[in-house]
Structure 1
Amino acid sequence: MTISPDFSAASTAVTAALAGYLLLGEPWAGRRMYGSLARRRHTEPRALVRYFGSVLALWWAFAALAVAALLLSPGVGAADLGLATPDRSAVVITGVLLAAAITMASARNFHDLARQGKNVPGRASIEAMLPRTPKERRLAVAVAVTDGLCAELVYRGLLTAFGVGVLGLDVTVAAALSVVVYAVAGFYQGRQGVLVFALFGVLFSGLYLATGSLLLPAAVHVLISVRDLTLPAPERPLAAAAA
């Protein structure tokens, strides 16, 4: 995969500001927002609805800044941000089908574990976000889809292009740097969350570099996010609130 973005001064400023916030501000803001949700989840009926609304607004604001960076730079094409037809269509189709099969199988397994009262891997770190009402479930799916699409555009597309076009890095090194920025976004889940985000960041960046398009990583990201945000909510009190 090769890209050659030429960022304008305005686009550089917009992207640098966004990258700085994602690296230094977002981890603390996300942790604060999630902590507040965990404390209010059982006492305020609309706490999760408001939380999901804030998350949706933030993601689309980030995506809008990515689009603005593209429009402000005549030397940056959509393909430089991964908005292109994949180099290997057969690989993408196979990858999407395989990812769908794996996530469906794991989702079924997680639901079985929940019904049996057993531990569901990873659920404790996000249980404040798990929906309990039909409206919350609809919003959870909307957040999961938005997360998959916008995160890939911002972290994989924009930040990788910024690393190549502004910092002069090789595309692989730029993608690795974007993984670091993405990993700290998991800080709201603690140290384990940072590690999990790093592992998934490596996966998504690898899929992006292998296909030259955001289509496959975005599809896989959406599938995983939908699976996780539709897990059965535990009946016991929130671990985060109790802590």
Structure 2
Amino acid sequence: MTITTDFAPDFSAPSTAVAAALAAYLLFGEAWAGRRMYASLARRRDTEPRALVRYYGLVLALWWALAALAVAALLLSPGTAAADLGLALPERPAYAVAAILLTGAAAVASGRHFRDLAERGRNVPGLSAIEAMLPRTPVERRLAIAVAVSDGVCAELVYRGLLIAFGVGALGLDLYAAAALSVLVYALAGFYQGRRGVLAFALFGAVFTGLYFATGSLLLPVAVHVILSVRDLTLPAPEKLHTATAA
């Protein structure tokens, strides 16, 4: 199925309270917390060997805590089905699989291109904004992949699945107004990367929302989000590239 204007999840009072608390954090706290956490990491990255490991651990704990609240909101509301949060298979799985494969191929090609640019000392779009969180060791690389997967799964559940359903079912917003609000809130989460990060998050938030609306499922946006996050978070850190070149 696709998401249409007759979409009308029914939130109970306890579910509304949980979802409202989560939405308030995403709107008013996530941008501040993300910027503060990343600034702290950037200051400590070169002087504390385990700074990135601790940062990744905190990010993982935060993501899964937010996802747990989204699931709690669903379980506390008998009138809201799992499909109302996008937890369903797409109507045409073959098209979703084809889109995932194409996205994966594009991500591999673009990842190689970005690495080649970095090795030649050329500018890689967006790399400077996430430089502090790029892995330099095998342990950091494994954690980076875990963070990328969690980012894709949890962000889509929270920002697309829950927020849009909450906007329609609890706030009484029109479907497209709820979707626009979810994109706006998601864009604010990119504040730790500066103004360009906010714009990039807004663009990708709109794309992920479009994929969700087109399929009625979070499967495709989750898969695309995970693929892009893995590509970005596994780019080699500049110091590693420079060391390899010098050697």
How high is the sequence identity, in percent, across the aligned residues?
A: 75
CA distance in 2, matches of 1:209, 1:74: 23
For 1:124, which of 123, 128, 148 is the aligned residue?
A: 128
Unaligned ranges ≥5, structure 2: 241-247
Equivalent-residue separation in structure 2 for 1:190 and 1:17 (angstroms)? 26
Contact 1:180 1:198 in 2 (8 A): yes
Instruction: Let me know the Cα RMSD of the aligned residues.
Output: 1.0
Picking from 76, 87, 112, the partner of 1:83 is 87
**Residue equivalent to 2:77:** 73
Letter in 2 for 1:130: L
Q: Does 1:172 align with 2:176?
A: yes
Pairwise CA distance, 1:88:
2.3
C-alpha displacement of 1:171: 2.1
What is the TM-score normalised by the length of structure 2?
0.94
- Counterpart AA for 2:226: V
Counterpart in the other structure of 2:12:
8
1:50 aligned partner: 54
What is the CA distance between 1:68 and its match in structure 2?
0.2
Cα-to-partner distance string for 1:35-94 (whole Å, 9 max, x where unaligned):
000000000000000000000000000000000000000001000000011022232112
Q: Which among 147, 154, 161 is matched to residue 150 of structure 1?
A: 154
Q: Which amino acid aligns with 1:107?
A: G
Measured in 1, the distance between the counterparts of 2:162 and 2:72 equals 11
Q: Secondary structure at the match of 2:236?
A: coil
How far is the alpha carbon of 1:194 from its aligned partner? 0.4
Matched letter for residue 156 of structure 2: E
- Tell me, in whole angstroms, the C-alpha distance in 2 between the residues paired with 1:213 and 1:66: 16
Equivalent pairs, count = 236
Contact 1:172–1:209 (CA under 8 A) maintained in structure 2: no
Distance 1:51 1:8 in 2: 36
1:98 alignment partner in structure 2: 102
The two structures have a TM-score, normalised by structure 1, of: 0.95
Q: Which amino acid aligns with 1:138?
A: R
AA of the residue aligned to 1:139: L
Structure-1 separation of matches of 2:56 and 2:239:
21
Aligned to 2:225: 221
What do residues 93-136 of structure 1 show as CA deviations (whole Å, max 9, x unaligned)? 12111111111110010111111121111100000000000000
State the alpha-carbon separation in 2 of the partners of residues 204 and 79 from structure 1.
17
Task: List alignment gaps of at least 5 residues for structure 1.
Answer: 237-243
Deviation per CA, 1:164-199: give whole Å up to 9, x if none: 101122322211110000000000011111000000
The correspondence of residues 23-34 of structure 1 with structure 2, limited to 5 A, is 23-34=27-38
Distance 1:231 1:93 in 2: 25
